[in-house]
Chain A
Amino acid sequence: NAGVTQTPKFQVLKTGQSMTLQCAQDMNHEYMSWYRQDPGMGLRLIHYSVGAGITDQGEVPNGYNVSRSTTEDFPLRLLSAAPSQTSVYFCASSPSGSGGYNEQFFGPGTRLTVL
């Protein structure tokens, strides 16, 4: 199993550009989520999904879109990048059933810089 994979590892954008951060998992997990990690602020939840076709907003959803067409993939879209979106982005997945008792498996992260 590859676990949770994220691409790209690094990205530099100009203000106003759009891009998609890719996330995939091969563990058949129903729950997937996106976090951003900023210095001194820990991880903050952007969007999450409890299964294919179902997504919901987290703590800091503005400026980001998600969709979940398959169990495996959960891409994060930045429609018009802003310098405030400079951060490290982590995707995570966990199995359903036992809910919050379950371990979240994290990807290696994408470091995004918006100039």
Chain B
Amino acid sequence: GNSVTQMEGPVTLSEEAFLTINCTYTATGYPSLFWYVQYPGEGLQLLLKATKADDKGSNKGFEATYRKETTSFHLEKGSVQVSDSAVYFCALSVNNFNKFYFGSGTKLNVKP
């Protein structure tokens, strides 16, 4: 079936530290991959996406590369800020359909 597995949190980092949140997936067809971010008390917002193998999505200093050989889409940022504190969700859609599958979310806490 289709599913997403991401690392459990919470992840606690100091400001300016390097961030990696791991995400792996299984898909019965051809997946598109997404990272969404949820700030406290708000709905989810798209952070970045990649629609084919070896594509790199990037936004606001965050990056993730679609690795077909390892079925992964890890989220990275070189220097986190306190304002990056949020819950991050990895998600996929399969075969160009609008049906999305979400991971369980990883909470990031950044301390000043």
Q: Are A100 and B98 touching (Cβ within 8 A)?
A: yes
Count of chain B residues with Cβ under 8 Å from any Cβ of A? 25
- Is B93 an interface residue, CB under 8 A from the partner? yes
- Is A106 an interface residue, CB under 8 A from the partner? yes
- Is A53 an interface residue, CB under 8 A from the partner? no
Q: Take A4-B43, A90-B43, A106-B44 as given contacts and tell me if A98 and B102 are in contact as well, using a CB distance cutoff of 8 Å.
A: no
Q: Are A103 and B49 touching (Cβ within 8 A)?
A: yes
B56 to chain A, nearest CB (A): 16
Which A residues touch B4, using CB under 8 A? 42
Q: Are B98 and A108 touching (Cβ within 8 A)?
A: no
Q: Are B45 and A94 touching (Cβ within 8 A)?
A: no
Q: Are A50 and B98 touching (Cβ within 8 A)?
A: yes
Q: Are A48 and B49 touching (Cβ within 8 A)?
A: no
A100: nearest chain-B partner, CB-CB: B93
* A71–B100 CA distance with the chains assembled, in angstroms: 20
Count of chain A residues with Cβ under 8 Å from any Cβ of B? 28
Q: Take A42-B104, A100-B32 as given contacts and tell me if A109 and B43 are in contact as well, using a CB distance cutoff of 8 Å.
A: yes
* A92–B34 CA distance with the chains assembled, in angstroms: 15
Q: Take A40-B104, A43-B89, A43-B102 as given contacts and tell me if A100 and B96 are in contact as well, using a CB distance cutoff of 8 Å.
A: yes
Q: Are B46 and A101 touching (Cβ within 8 A)?
A: no
Cβ < 8 Å to A, chain B residues 54-85: none
A61 to chain B, nearest CB (A): 13
A43: nearest chain-B partner, CB-CB: B102
Which A residues touch B44, using CB under 8 A? 43, 90, 92, 104, 106
Cβ < 8 Å to B, chain A residues 18-56: 31, 33, 35, 40-45, 48, 50
B35 to chain A, nearest CB (A): 11
Q: Are A99 and B93 touching (Cβ within 8 A)?
A: yes
- Is A11 an interface residue, CB under 8 A from the partner? no
A88: nearest chain-B partner, CB-CB: B43
- Is A75 an interface residue, CB under 8 A from the partner? no
Q: Which residues of B contact A (CB under 8 A)?
A: 4, 32, 36, 41-46, 49, 51, 89, 93-105
